[in-house]
Structure 1
Amino acid sequence: MARTGITPERLTQTAAELADEIGFDNLTVSAVARRLGVKDPSLYAHIRNVRQLRTLVSLLALEELADAAAAALAGRAGKDALVAFANTYRDYARKHPGRYAAAQSELDKDTALNSAAPRHSQLTRAILHGYDLPEPDQTDAVRFLHATFHGYVSLEMVGGFGHTAREADASWAWVLETLDFALRNRPMTGDRR
């Protein structure tokens, strides 16, 4: 029987907040139980194990991030859309580092397909409509953008850019300018050469 006051939503939200504070990899059932002021067994009415707890946080993070990206893209196209999308991801990672890490974690295929994960690719493809990219270039560009954004954000989060005098924001702007240029001036691939 579920403990009064603890709902799956409250459990997930508490776990997400805790992940932001202590790190997604440090998230445990015991830590969430302590935060909620209950014993560990009280949570097992809602979850089977720590893996399921982390999956719930991943699903929440994917949903939040997709919603934020969709709102940022509304009415934008081309470079403006690219910059809004990229800044949304970067801002989310800065504000919610544990959730951002959760959004990057591997989900089983069925869970991933039924989550907000496909929306992230759809949103990226929406940006790419402004660059008139046919397949297979569009798929390559989706991967290119995600790898670039995630790589930059991940390095920034662990202090990877603190050893130079140039501000990370200036480099981020340079990255976005370069991505826009690359997408507008991409070489032809395959049969279109």
Structure 2
Amino acid sequence: MARAGITADRLVEAGAELADAAGFEQVSLSALARRFEVSVPSLYAHVAGSHDLKTRIARLALAELADRGLAALAGRAGKDALTALGNVYRDYARAHPGRYAAARMPLDPAAAAASAGPRHTEMIRAILRGYDLPETEQTHAVRLLGATFHGYVSLELAGGFDHSSPDSERSWSRAMDALDALLRHWPDE
């Protein structure tokens, strides 16, 4: 019988909290069993294993990011929307580094389709409509924006900009300016 009070949702939330505190790679069933003062086998009543737990944390993070992104995009277009969405990823990564790492976890096709991942692509495509990009070019632009947002955030989280000048805020602003200019003048194929 499952211990009273433990649910899959509570395990996922506790795993997400552990990820933020200690790193996503530190999330394990044994760590959560210690936290809930139960044996590891008792957790299998709620999750199928460590991979299932991490997949659920990834889906939670993707949903949280998508919700924040949609709220940030409301009423915005063009560079304002572009910067707002980029800032959502950046701010979320700073506040929740473990969850952000979870959101970058590769998911199997079924888990990816059931996640909020497709909402992220839809948000970026909504931004691109404001730039009048042909539909045939949108996938390229989605990949560029995703690579820029996530690449910058990953380097920043790793301390890659800590000891250089100008500060990363200025570089981030310039990156958003450059993306905006590129999207307004997208090259012909």
Partner Cα distance (1:146, 1:161) in 2: 19
What does 1:61-80 align with in structure 2 at a 5 Å threshold? 61-80=61-80
1:16 matched to which residue of 2? 16
User: Does structure 1 retain, via aligned residues, the 8 Å contact 2:133–2:186?
Assistant: no
> In structure 1, the residue corresponding to 2:48 is in which secondary structure?
coil
2:94 matched to which residue of 1? 94
> In structure 2, the residue corresponding to 1:46 is in which secondary structure?
coil
Q: Is 2:9 the partner of 1:6?
A: no
* Stretches of structure 2 lacking an aligned partner (at least 5 in a row): none
Q: Is 2:107 the partner of 1:107?
A: yes
1:42: how far off? 2.0
User: Does structure 1 retain, via aligned residues, the 8 Å contact 2:90–2:153?
Assistant: yes
1:37: how far off? 2.5
What does 1:142-157 align with in structure 2 at a 5 Å threshold? 142-157=142-157
Cα deviation 1:32-58 (Å, max 9, x = unaligned): 112223221221111121111101100
Q: Is 2:46 the partner of 1:51?
A: no
Cα deviation 1:4-39 (Å, max 9, x = unaligned): 001111111000000111111121111111222322
Letter in 2 for 1:121: T
Q: Identity rate of aligned residues, in percent? A: 58
User: Does structure 1 retain, via aligned residues, the 8 Å contact 2:23–2:97?
Assistant: yes
The range that moved more, 131-140 or 81-90, is 131-140
2:138 matched to which residue of 1? 138
> In structure 1, the residue corresponding to 2:115 is in which secondary structure?
coil
> In structure 1, the residue corresponding to 2:17 is in which secondary structure?
helix
Partner Cα distance (1:126, 1:32) in 2: 39
* Stretches of structure 1 lacking an aligned partner (at least 5 in a row): none
How many residues end up aligned between the 2 structures?
189
2:124 matched to which residue of 1? 124
What does 1:29-40 align with in structure 2 at a 5 Å threshold? 29-40=29-40
The normalised TM-score by structure 2 is 0.97
> In structure 2, the residue corresponding to 1:131 is in which secondary structure?
coil
Letter in 2 for 1:154: S
Partner Cα distance (2:33, 2:99) in 1: 18
Partner Cα distance (1:2, 1:131) in 2: 53
2:28 matched to which residue of 1? 28
1:114: how far off? 1.2
1:150: how far off? 0.5
